Structure 1
Amino acid sequence: MDFQIKAFKIISTLEAISFLLLLFIAMPLKYIWDLPQFVSVLGMAHGILFVLYLIGAYFMYEKLNWSLKTFAIVAFCSVLPFGPFYADKKYLPAS
């Protein structure tokens, strides 16, 4: 498998995990137990991974000759919990 595709799959997985940790662990800690530190740390990591995901999606758009619709779906998946996992299975070549 091509290095760029493998790198995007890794970024995609990390982005999805960081989003899930932010939603289901850091946010409850902040709003239920008044521990906002985790949101600060995970929020920054997720923000960086989110930007890398979108940049990577654009590179995949060019490399894999995706239609604009496919690119839009993959980009939209970045804002959905579990979305990057779906995009990985549906739109990227198998390992």
Structure 2
Amino acid sequence: MLKTPLGRFRLTAWIQAVAYLLILFVAYPLKSAGMPQAVTIFGNIYGAAFLLLVLTLIYARSALDWSLSRPIIIFFVSFIPFGLIVMDLLWMRKWEDGSISRSA
């Protein structure tokens, strides 16, 4: 998985998706339960994962010759809970074997 730019991007997408789900479904309930430091901890993890996602998205776009529309769509999907996971399961695996055009 880590041998190709798309494989590295897919890994960082999963890391960011899990970090986002942790902040939504673990940190915020803990904050409501009286542990506000949970949001700080998970928020820092999510922030680092999001920056890593953006950097690998820029790298993947240049290395794989993607048009600008694909990274923009991926960027906005990253704000939807489970969005990157669904995108990986439905589309990104197909991109790896080349069955979808590189410019799409």
Identity of aligned residues (%): 31
> What is the distance in 2 between the residues matched to 1:87 and 1:68?
17
Q: Report how far residue 17 of structure 1 moved.
A: 0.4
Q: Report how far residue 85 of structure 1 moved.
A: 1.6
CA RMSD, Structure 1 to Structure 2 (Å): 1.7
Q: What TM-score do you get using the length of structure 2 for normalisation?
A: 0.78
Long gaps (5+) in structure 2? 98-104
Task: Give the letter for the 1:80 counterpart.
Answer: I
Q: What TM-score do you get using the length of structure 1 for normalisation?
A: 0.84
Between Structure 1 and Structure 2, the one with more helix by share is: 1
> What is the distance in 2 between the residues matched to 1:87 and 1:52?
18
Task: Give the letter for the 1:11 counterpart.
Answer: T
2:15–2:49 Cα contact (<8 Å) kept: yes
1:77–1:86 Cα contact (<8 Å) kept: no
> What is the distance in 2 between the residues matched to 1:21 and 1:28?
10
Q: Report how far residue 86 of structure 1 moved.
A: 3.1
Task: List structure 1 runs of 4+ shifted beyond 4 angstroms.
Answer: none
1:60 aligns with 2:60: yes
State the aligned residue count: 93
Secondary structure at 1:47's aligned position in 2? helix
